[in-house]
Amino acid sequence: NAGVTQTPKFQVLKTGQSMTLQCAQDMNHNSMYWYRQDPGMGLRLIYYSASEGTTDKGEVPNGYNVSRLNKREFSLRLESAAPSQTSVYFCASSEGRGRQYFGPGTRLTVT
Amino acid sequence: KQEVTQIPAALSVPEGENLVLNCSFTDSAIYNLQWFRQDPGKGLTSLLLIQSSQREQTSGRLNASLDKSSGRSTLYIAASQPGDSATYLCAVLGGGGSEKLVFGKGTKLTVNP
């Protein structure tokens, strides 16, 4: 069972570079989420998508954009990376407001 | 704004001990509460989900309780094993149609052989 997959697993960027984090789920879930996890801050919601074609801001959306490409895929884009975006990024999915299933994470370093 | 607190931040116990992890939240108008486990360098694994109308949920050696009126949940782990060593996170989903899960910072559990 693949569940929630994320690519890449690791990435190093220079300040100002752009990149897209990819997420896909095979559980036919309607809802998908992007979180970041930082030491001392816990997990914080960046953006979420309650259904295909809709996206909404979470707690920390500045500096990020998202695309819900189809029901399976939800991508997170950093247009101009900053050192403050160094973090571990997790994608998750759920059926409505039920249990959330997480991917393995992407470890991003911005120098 | 909902805030979730987990105390203690770290806990070390000998193998075989029964233990309780605590979670408190400031706004009692929640839809559900979830407990997750996170191993170092890994993603989160959902352990238990308690709906706001429920008092407890059980899965194997794990039992989670919810007292919505007092803003508290506990995760009880029976007969702890070294394989239970991980960080345990509590998260609440607010009422009113919210899809925003609010996390505590976790309790890092070490079970010593």
Place of tokens 């998750």: A92
Tell me, what's the pLDDT at B21? 97
Residue B73 has pLDDT above 80, yes or no: yes
Q: What is the mean pLDDT of chain A?
A: 95
Please list every residue in chain A whose beta carbon sits closer than 8 Å to the beta carbon of residue B103: 42-44
From B31, B42, B105, residue closest to A104, measured CB to CB: B42
pLDDT-derived band at A97, boundaries 50, 70, 90: confident
Average pLDDT over residues B7-26: 96
B40 Cα to chain A: minimum distance (Å) = 11
Contact criterion met (CB below 8 Å) for B37 and B87: yes
Q: What's chain B's Rg over C-alpha atoms?
A: 14
Residue B108 has pLDDT above 70, yes or no: yes
Element housing A20 (H / E):
strand A19-25
- Cα separation of A79 and A2, whole Å? 29
Tell me, what's the pLDDT at A1? 66
Average pLDDT over residues A58-83: 96
Tell me, what's the pLDDT at A9? 96
Tell me, what's the pLDDT at A2? 76
pLDDT tens digits, B34-52: 999 999 999 999 999 999 9
- Cα separation of A105 and A68, whole Å? 18
Tell me, what's the pLDDT at A40? 83
From B42, B43, B100, residue closest to A45, measured CB to CB: B100
Q: Which two tokens stand for residue B14?
A: 């000998």
